[in-house]
Amino acid sequence: MSATYDLYQEQILDHYKHPRNKGPLPGATLNAKDSNPLCGDEVILHLNLDGSHRISEVRFEGQGCAISQASASILTTMLKGLPRAEVEALNQDALLKKLGIPLSVVRLKCALLSHHVLRLAIGDKKADRA
């Protein structure tokens, strides 16, 4: 394995063991929840938009494997401060690039659950499962 791969694995473990922005967000502007019934992963995403339609606060709740929970943690760090238009344009590849490791089809579903929940939260009618 390469040193880069090892660094990304360390990043995933760090986000899993010490998640960023984890916990409830009472009064959130946007909320969504979904789960992966195959492996029991669950992600709930809470977003607050400010007056200029930027993400002023973002939190997540959930349970599941290291990939799903680290992915949710990483996604929240990507979202904070973004205008809604950029959030709407954020695609799955951006999150996968941040994860930085190759994933099997099963693990891909885990990694993209938080992105799917984001699409639900912003009301994307095409919020297809990964």
Q: Smallest Cα–Cα separation from 75: which of 20, 128, 13?
A: 20
pLDDT tens track for 45-59: 999 999 999 999 999
The per-residue pLDDT for 129 is 43
d(CA 23, CA 101): 26
pLDDT tens track for 70-123: 999 999 999 999 999 999 999 999 999 999 888 888 889 999 999 999 999 999
- Whole-prediction pTM value? 0.90
Residue ranges and CATH numbers for the domains of the chain are 3-121 (3.90.1010.10)
What are all long-range contacts of 87-93, with beta carbons under 8 Å and residues at least 24 apart?
A: 87/55, 87/118, 87/122, 88/122, 88/124, 90/115, 90/118, 92/130
Q: Write phi, then psi, for 125 (nearest 5 degrees).
A: -65, -20
